[in-house]
Structure formats: structure tokens, C-alpha cells
Amino acid sequence: MLLSNLFLPLTKDLPTDAKIKSHQLMLRTGMIKQSAAGIYSWLPLGFKIMKKIESIVREEQNKIGAQEMLMPTIQSADIWKESGRYNDYGEEMLRIKDRQGREMLYGPTNEELITEIFRSSIKSYKSLPQLLYHIQWKFRDEIRPRFGIMRCREFYMKDAYSFDIDDEKAKHSYNKMFYAYLKTFNRLELQAIPMAADTGPIGGDLSHEFIILAETGESNIFTDKNIFDIKLNSYNFSKDSLEKMRSDFSSFYSATDEKFNKDEFEKKIKKENQIKAKGIEVGHIFYFGEKYSKPLNCLVDHPEGKKVAVKMGSYGIGVSRLIGAIIEAKFIDDVMKWPRSVSPFDLVIIPSINKNNDENSKKALKIYQELKENKIDVLLDDVNENISAKFKKHDLLGIPYQIIIGSKSEDDKFEFKEVGKIATMLSLKEIKQKLKK
Amino acid sequence: MLLSNLFLPLTKDLPTDAKIKSHQLMLRTGMIKQSAAGIYSWLPLGFKIMKKIESIVREEQNKIGAQEMLMPTIQSADIWKESGRYNDYGEEMLRIKDRQGREMLYGPTNEELITEIFRSSIKSYKSLPQLLYHIQWKFRDEIRPRFGIMRCREFYMKDAYSFDIDDEKAKHSYNKMFYAYLKTFNRLELQAIPMAADTGPIGGDLSHEFIILAETGESNIFTDKNIFDIKLNSYNFSKDSLEKMRSDFSSFYSATDEKFNKDEFEKKIKKENQIKAKGIEVGHIFYFGEKYSKPLNCLVDHPEGKKVAVKMGSYGIGVSRLIGAIIEAKFIDDVMKWPRSVSPFDLVIIPSINKNNDENSKKALKIYQELKENKIDVLLDDVNENISAKFKKHDLLGIPYQIIIGSKSEDDKFEFKEVGKIATMLSLKEIKQKLKK
């Protein structure tokens, strides 16, 4: 794509409430635009990154056999009254009356609705286990939306729900999702730590948060650096192997402020392995058994003949939030570098444009076309501005690879730079090979 | 995928209000489930079809250079007050008060919001033309939602917006979109007729509806059968060629009840070419110039120095509605056949399962695995029920190709059937070739 065609409203004027890196960067690079308090539009650059993250989340859900579906944003209040959460949820729930005066709401989460779908569809243990998920907009009417898309009101979330006949099988579903989450964050080049967590308004007795390290994180985390050496690939999908995986992670001390115990931390971890850092929550999983299936009367036939309430868990990843989390983790000293898997473009070509000589522009256009033919998603910065301004701009845009076309370019070698590394002179063939990896 | 794993709640009990074919079929095959009046969940089968339609819509938008973005579902009432539509829109607009008492609404369309984004981003004719689109949930609080997802309240829509410096250029944008729409419907194997239309609450003076032929359509249409002989591929993207395309379509008489003029119809079309049929609207495009840019003060610098209101158009396709439209057009005599481009699976394997002999099941599993390795998205009906019940079920599911494994199967030849055609005996290699086409 030609940069001059991209709808990319760059801005230098930041609102005073843009206090954290991700909020600032997303506004400066025209990824988002606020349309109301805590409500944003996603402009083409931000949208493209979000779609790539969404695809990775989806692929990892599909790999563990979860099936995608889609529940609506607007729900009837009735099922929330059945579960008892209609009154409990508080003012964060956006309550709506339709033209007929019916009580509706904008779903902040979907335990009730999925339970209602399940109870009218599945009657027997023979159809279990089931893992269903959707990726849909949610709304939580935060009293003070802030930090851009990190704590906004309308946000994009993947939520999955598991249905099993007994606790043991339900924990296997939980472990599969635990695995899928770690795989997802790995592919986003995020170091995520699973931490035993409180269950809050979702309920239940088993729960983990997934926290990534980021200097500007909202919570303090305390853990053992050996936790990062656990190799996900060493586990398979058998029940025992996944159980071992979860227990291996649990064997290392890790806690956020809430659960932090200084004595335990000091005692369990050698000084040199202690990590005290800041973190951001990017996922949260819950096993809550019959908490919703019982009040909603979601029963299935048990092999032994009786009917039992199905055992459920729920599993959330904030897809829109992950964009902010990646920025918080990767935007360092005013230079952004997107993980390749979610970068808005594979490569940017930055020609130094000279009014009296269009040689660089021509050369840039030629290799742009050749790379495009090789299915490389390339951005050509054809904007007429001086090269140092361009470099500053691309420091923010964060495309991980650059070809710089200026005085150093030779006939068949180009200055190729990976953000954060030293530039080298490479032929187009070598560049293509590098990008194919 | 194994059918026994698919979350597919088939049902025979239809609610009395399921009066049209698409509504009935979608409920019977577990594609959707109603969660409130006019609000549906999309279960895995329906979801998969919708995603394929969405991809085709997206690809054709991208091909004409439209850029994807995403606006939120919840909007502030303020911009609707600026345009004057907050009062005009009536009760179909779902109005909401948030916890702070601010007036919000669930967007029924996005002219105001996109204009607001544009006016704060683009200042000069040099950045024009722009074509922006998004695919997002909309809400219209219909007084009597009916016909399943054909006239529901929460629906999925692609809406695009064009921005140009003058009328002439704006009409070129309009023609590009006109072309993209016809291309989109072609790929869905729908015969769509563009018809000059009234502009209704969107406004403006140039507008076309795209209507597909379907027996159960809600409007009567009158046209000339020669209109179907226009070859889209004979036009290119130049201004003149696209202008000619639109005028070629306009040269044939076509009208819905509203605009129907019997005398003109009889006079303009030879008897043998007259088509009187039922139709369903699947798309609607509008050119309305300054209708929103003027009240919202969306100005750009003109080459001649002054500031002018940008010229805008808007372009809608009901993505969720298209699924219903395809069913209405293709579901004939209780047999459904999905267009290949949107079919939930490429092929279904239907073994006749015998309790005392698992030969068919084994054979089915073997070719299932081989086809999967060849990246063919195949469904294996491993459910234990008699073969005639299976055939009836697959008549409804509508996967266009079947391999039937029963008494007729030979060692290396299989009964291969395209829905609506005679079965033939083919080797797996021949089947693969057929599906690759």
C-alpha cells in the first residue's frame, strides 16, 4: 500500500488524559479515535493489527477443538434474573429499555446466554464435552474510563465456555484452555505468566489470570524467573500431560499484589531468581462448576441415569486490550516494534525523496511492486517529507523491517534494517528470503 | 469435522411465526437460535456461512480500494443532533442513557459518525478520494421483528462511505461501489438487479437498490430478461467504462412495485423478455452529496483555495440478511444447496452405518483423513442413524457435494453426488480434482 493512500491521521496534539504509552501511541499514529467517553473507532492501521490478533486467538481456540459461534450484543434481562446477576452486577451493566418497554442490556459477559443456548440444545452426556466460543463486542459502563482502549467501555473480547459431565473432565477442558492461552500469548511474543486468581463476580473456585510483563503495568507481580523456562512444546494433549503442565506452572511462586506474601516469596525463590515487576492482565479463566447451570436448570442425562447440572467454565481474552498490552510491552524509548505476527505491514520502504531527482522514488516503486508480487505486505512511504521526519514517523508506526533508499543504496543492494538492529546491505533476493522465514 | 462433534442442534419443532423458508431452515438446521424478539445467536453452522459471506464482501470492497476500519456500536447522541436525525429517526433508534445520564444510542447506520471522524482527520482535497467501510452490528428497534434474520433487530451490515471533492468524482466512487456490489452478488451465485430507488431517511438524489430474484421475495419486480446478459467483466475501472456500465444497466427497464409503471413496462420490453418476479433487497447505495458534510461542517480545502463541504455517498450490504436471501433463492422443494463459495463444508461423507459391520465406517474415516490432508474442508457424518434419515438431513444442510458409502461403493470407486445431479462412481483422485476446480 502507498502511504499517501492510507487513511492514517497522524497527530501530535494529545489530550491531557492520554497518560500511558499505548494510549498516546495509538492516538499519535491514528490507530484509534475516541468517539465518546471510553468508546473508540478503530481506524485502518489499528483495525488491521486487531484483526491479526483476533486471527491468532481464533486459531489457537480452534486447535483445541473449540467451536466458534456468535452471541448478540443485546440480551434480554430475563436470563440474568434467573441467574441472580441482574441485581448483583451493579452499574457497570448498561441497562436498556426497548420501544416496547422490555428490559434489555448490553452484554458485559455471556455466562447466562450460553447456558440458555446449551440447555435448549444438549440433553445427554453423549454430546459432551463441548467448548464454544465467540469473539464479540462487550460493554461495561465504567464510571471512569481511562488508559485508552485498556480500560474503555466498549471492548472486543473472546469468551469461551466449557461444558462437561463431571469435575475431572471439566478440569481437563480448563487445562486445554490454559494451554491455548499460553500458546496464543507466545505467538504474540508476550511473556505471559499464569497466576492463581480470585474469581470475583464470575464465581467459582479455580481461576487463573494471565499476566504479561510491562513496565507500565497496573499491578505488581512477584515471581520466579525459572517459570519462563517451562517449554510448552514438551506437553501433549493427553489429560495427564496437561495436568502436569498446569502443576509445573503452579510449582513456581507467582502472585500479584493482592495475594503477595513476602515471606513465602523470599523463602521459596533464590535471590537471583526473584522477579519483581509490573504486569498487565491479558486473560482470565474460571472453573465454576454448577454456578450457572444450577439456577438456570441446565441439566444433562448422566451415564448412570439421573440428570445432573452440567459443569461449566469460562475463559476470556481481551482482544482489543491485547493491542494496548503489546504496545506497553514493546514500545521502548519512543520506538515501537510490532511482533511480526501482528505487524500492520511486513515491511516498509522509505525512500529519501529529492525534489530535483526522482531516482529514489522510481527505485522504491520498482521494488515495492516486486515485493507485492511476492505476496509481501509492503508499505511504501511515498510522502514528500524529509528523511529524518520519516524515520521519526516509522519509529512510531513500528513496522519491524525497513528498506531505506537513499545515498547508500547501490544498484542491486539496499539498506535493510530490522528495528533495533544495525542496518545491512542486502540484495532484494536476500531480503525476500529473510522475510519468508 | 466429525458430525458427532459439531454443535448442531437440529430441531423439528418450529415456532408458529417461522413462516418463510429461510427462517424455517435456519432453525431446523441449528444455524441460529432466537434469544429475544428479533435478536439471534449464530450457532457454529450459521456462523461459518456468515463468515464466508463476510469474507467475500470484504474482498470485493478491498479490490476497489476501500479501506476497512471499525466504528463502535454505541454512539453519542450529540452528532445525531448536529445532523438533525436524532429527532427524525423515530422509534427504530434504540436510545440509551448511560450511568452518567448521557444520551447514547445503538447505531442503526453511521453517516454521522464517519463524517465526524473524517472532518477531524482530512483537511485537503489532496487526500481525496477516500472510501472507508466497516462491517459491524447495527440495531433497529423494529416494532414487529419477523422473518427470522431477514427483518430482525440486531443485524450485521457492511456500510461504506465515500468522500470526494466534487460531484463528478463522487459519481465515480458511486460507480466503483456499484461494480463491487454486482461482483459480490455474482460470487454468491445470486442474480442481482440494480434498480433506481428512493432514498428514504438516508437522503440524496441518486440511489440504487440491488434486488435478487427469489420466489418468496417481499417485493414484486418488473424487468427485462436481457439485463442478465450484461457482462461485468467487459468493463474496466476507468471513469468512462464504469459510467457506461451503470448506464448500460439503466437502459433496461426495471422497477419494484413502488415505481412500477405498467404502460412503460409493456412498451419498453418485448413480451417474451418481460420478467415479473418476486425479489429481495440485498444492498442499497446512496449518493447524497453534502447532506451530512454541510450540517456537520466537514470541509476540505478545494484546489482553488476556498473550503468546500466534502461530497459523500453511503453503501450498505446486509451481511446477515444475505444468508436468508441465499436460502430464499436456493432452497427448492425441501432441498438446499449452498453456493460453493459460502458452503459450510466443501463435501460431506455419508456412510451407511451397520451395527454388525464397521467396514463402511472405516472406509469413510480413511477417505475423510485423506481429503483433510488435501485441505478439503470435509464433514463426516459418523452419526449412528439410518441412511434415509441421513439423506433427509443432508438435503437440509445443503453441502453441495456428497460421497455416499454404502452397498454401491467399490474398492477404489465411490458414489459421488452433486446435490441436484445424478450420482457417479469416481475414484478419490477424480473427486479431489473435481473439488479443486
Domain boundaries, chain A: 21-330, 345-436
User: Would you state the pLDDT for residue B132?
Assistant: 98
Cβ burial A43-71 (10 Å sphere, 16+ → b, else e)? bbbbbbbbebbbebbbebbeebebbbbbb
Q: Find the closest chain A residue to B27 by CA distance.
A: A121
Q: DSSP code of B124?
A: B
* Type and span of the H or E element at A264: helix A262-268
CA distance B352 to B407: 8
Query: CB-CB: which of B30, B41, B44 is closest to A72?
Result: B41
CA distance A62 to A391: 39
- Average per-residue pLDDT for chain B: 94
* pLDDT class of B326 with cuts at 50, 70, 90: very high
User: Would you state the pLDDT for residue A196?
Assistant: 87
pLDDT tens-place string over residues A76-94 = 999 999 999 999 899 999 9
C-alpha dist (Å) from residue A340 to A108, A239, A415, B26, B261: 31, 33, 20, 40, 59
**B183: distance to nearest CA of chain A, Å?**
23
Best of B41, B103, B142, B163 to substitute, by most chain A Cβ atoms within 10 angstroms, is B41
Collapsing DSSP to helix, strand or coil, B132 comes out as strand
Q: Is the pLDDT of residue B222 over 70?
A: yes
User: Would you state the pLDDT for residue A202?
Assistant: 65
Cβ burial B392-412 (10 Å sphere, 16+ → b, else e)? ebbeebbbbbbbbbeeebeee
CA distance B67 to B133: 6
Please provide residue A83's backbone torsions phi and psi, each rounded to the nearest 5 degrees: -80, -20
Instruction: Write the burial class of residue A422 (CB in 10 Å: 0-12 exposed, 13-18 middle, 19+ buried).
Output: exposed
Long-range contacts of B339-343 (CB under 8 A, 24+ apart): B339/B188, B339/B189, B339/B400, B340/B400, B341/B52, B341/B56, B341/B187, B341/B188, B341/B189, B342/B49, B342/B52, B342/B53, B342/B56, B342/B188, B343/B49, B343/B52, B343/B398, B343/B399, B343/B400
A14 touches B at CB < 8 Å: no
pLDDT tens-place string over residues A125-139 = 999 999 999 999 999
* pLDDT class of B16 with cuts at 50, 70, 90: confident
* pLDDT class of B203 with cuts at 50, 70, 90: low
**Chain CA centroid to CA B3, Å:** 26
Q: Across the interface, do A9 and B121 touch by the CB < 8 Å criterion?
A: yes
Chain A residues touching residue B68 (CB < 8 angstroms): 44, 47-48
B72 touches A at CB < 8 Å: yes
User: Would you state the pLDDT for residue B215?
Assistant: 84
CA distance A109 to A417: 44
A117 touches B at CB < 8 Å: yes
* pLDDT class of B201 with cuts at 50, 70, 90: low
Best of B39, B78, B154 to substitute, by most chain A Cβ atoms within 10 angstroms, is B39
pLDDT tens-place string over residues B24-77 = 999 999 999 999 999 999 999 999 999 999 999 999 999 999 999 999 999 999
**B178: distance to nearest CA of chain A, Å?**
21
Q: DSSP code of B166?
A: S
Chain B residues touching residue A153 (CB < 8 angstroms): 74, 98
CA distance B329 to A73: 29
Collapsing DSSP to helix, strand or coil, A19 comes out as coil
A383 touches B at CB < 8 Å: no
Q: Across the interface, do A35 and B137 touch by the CB < 8 Å criterion?
A: no
Q: Across the interface, do B41 and A71 touch by the CB < 8 Å criterion?
A: yes
Cα torsion A98, A101, A106, A107: sign: negative
Q: Is the pLDDT of residue B205 over 80?
A: no
User: Would you state the pLDDT for residue B407?
Assistant: 78
C-alpha dist (Å) from residue B341 to A383, B53, B346: 39, 8, 9
Q: Across the interface, do B113 and A36 touch by the CB < 8 Å criterion?
A: no
Q: Across the interface, do B36 and A75 touch by the CB < 8 Å criterion?
A: yes
Q: Across the interface, do A120 and B9 touch by the CB < 8 Å criterion?
A: yes
Distant-in-sequence, close-in-space partners of B267: CB < 8 Å, separation ≥ 6: none
Chain A residues touching residue B100 (CB < 8 angstroms): 37
Q: Across the interface, do A68 and B47 touch by the CB < 8 Å criterion?
A: yes
Q: Across the interface, do B47 and A33 touch by the CB < 8 Å criterion?
A: no
Give me the torsion for CA of B384, B389, B393, B394, rounded to 10°.
90
Q: Across the interface, do A36 and B121 touch by the CB < 8 Å criterion?
A: no
* pLDDT class of B393 with cuts at 50, 70, 90: very high
A76 touches B at CB < 8 Å: yes
Query: CB-CB: which of B36, B39, B104 is closest to A36?
Result: B104
Are B205 and B242 spatial neighbours (Cβ–Cβ below 8 Å)? no
Q: Is the pLDDT of residue B165 over 90?
A: yes
Q: Find the closest chain B residue to A33 by CA distance.
A: B117
Is B21-330's fold the same as B345-436's?
no
Q: Find the closest chain A residue to B29 by CA distance.
A: A121
Q: Across the interface, do A75 and B120 touch by the CB < 8 Å criterion?
A: no
Q: Find the closest chain A residue to B93 by CA distance.
A: A99
- Average per-residue pLDDT for chain A: 94
Chain B residues touching residue A139 (CB < 8 angstroms): 74
* pLDDT class of B17 with cuts at 50, 70, 90: confident
User: Would you state the pLDDT for residue A13?
Assistant: 85
User: Would you state the pLDDT for residue A203?
Assistant: 66
Best of A6, A61, A74 to substitute, by most chain B Cβ atoms within 10 angstroms, is A74
Chain B residues touching residue A111 (CB < 8 angstroms): none
C-alpha dist (Å) from residue B54 to A27, B65, B213, B262, B371: 28, 17, 21, 38, 26
Query: CB-CB: which of B40, B70, B94 is closest to A41?
Result: B70
Are A323 and A49 spatial neighbours (Cβ–Cβ below 8 Å)? yes
Query: CB-CB: which of B42, B122, B137 is closest to A73?
Result: B137
- Which residues in chain B (124-163) have CB-CB distances under 8 A to chain A? 130, 132, 137, 139, 141, 143, 153-154
* pLDDT class of A155 with cuts at 50, 70, 90: very high
Instruction: Give me the mean pLDDT over the A357-374 stretch.
Output: 94
For A26, the grid coordinates are 495509538
- Which residues in chain B (243-302) have CB-CB distances under 8 A to chain A? none
Return the CATH class of domain B21-330. Answer: alpha beta
Are A235 and A242 spatial neighbours (Cβ–Cβ below 8 Å)? yes
* pLDDT class of A355 with cuts at 50, 70, 90: confident
Cα torsion B183, B184, B185, B187: sign: positive
Instruction: Give me the mean pLDDT over the B420-432 stretch.
Output: 94
CA distance A431 to A47: 27
Place of cell 500479584: A256
B237 touches A at CB < 8 Å: no
B10 touches A at CB < 8 Å: no
Are A323 and A336 spatial neighbours (Cβ–Cβ below 8 Å)? no
**A268: distance to nearest CA of chain B, Å?**
44
Beta bridge partners of B105: B75, B95
Query: CB-CB: which of B47, B117, B132 is closest to A69?
Result: B47
- Which residues in chain A (23-52) have CB-CB distances under 8 A to chain B? 30, 33, 35-37, 39-44, 47-48, 50
User: How many pairs of residues across A and B have Cβ atoms under 8 Å apart?
Assistant: 149
Q: Decide the pairing of beta strands A378-380 and A347-351.
A: parallel
Q: Find the closest chain A residue to B4 by CA distance.
A: A127
What CATH homologous superfamily does A345-436 map to?
Answer: Anticodon-binding domain (3.40.50.800)
User: Would you state the pLDDT for residue A345?
Assistant: 98
Q: Across the interface, do A130 and B7 touch by the CB < 8 Å criterion?
A: yes
For A259, the grid coordinates are 495475594
* Type and span of the H or E element at A308: strand A307-309
Q: Decide the pairing of beta strands A307-309 and A299-301.
A: antiparallel
CA distance A395 to A411: 27
User: Would you state the pLDDT for residue A408?
Assistant: 73
CA distance A342 to A339: 6
**Chain CA centroid to CA B411, Å:** 42
CA angle, A222 then A226 then A230, to 5°: 115
CA distance A70 to A114: 10
- Which residues in chain B (386-415) have CB-CB distances under 8 A to chain A? none
Chain A residues touching residue B130 (CB < 8 angstroms): 7
Q: Is the pLDDT of residue A381 over 90?
A: yes
Q: Across the interface, do A117 and B91 touch by the CB < 8 Å criterion?
A: no
C-alpha dist (Å) from residue B135 to A210, A241, B155, B315, B319: 30, 41, 10, 12, 8
> Which is more confidently placed, B217 or A381?
A381
Query: CB-CB: which of A44, A65, A113 is closest to B67?
Result: A44
Q: What share of chain B in percent tops pLDDT 90?
A: 88
* Type and span of the H or E element at A54: helix A44-63
For B240, the grid coordinates are 468512462
Q: Across the interface, do A7 and B69 touch by the CB < 8 Å criterion?
A: yes
Q: Across the interface, do A73 and B154 touch by the CB < 8 Å criterion?
A: yes
* pLDDT class of B202 with cuts at 50, 70, 90: low
Q: What is the CA radius of gyration of chain B?
A: 25
Query: CB-CB: which of A43, A96, A102 is closest to B96?
Result: A96
Chain B residues touching residue A44 (CB < 8 angstroms): 67-69, 132
Chain B residues touching residue A140 (CB < 8 angstroms): none
CA distance B213 to B386: 36
Q: Across the interface, do B36 and A71 touch by the CB < 8 Å criterion?
A: no
pLDDT tens-place string over residues B85-122 = 999 899 999 999 999 999 999 999 999 999 999 999 99
Peptide bond into B400 cis (omega under 30): no
Helix residue ranges, H only, A381-421: 387-397
Collapsing DSSP to helix, strand or coil, A37 comes out as coil
Peptide bond into B129 cis (omega under 30): yes
> Which is more confidently placed, A394 or B15?
A394
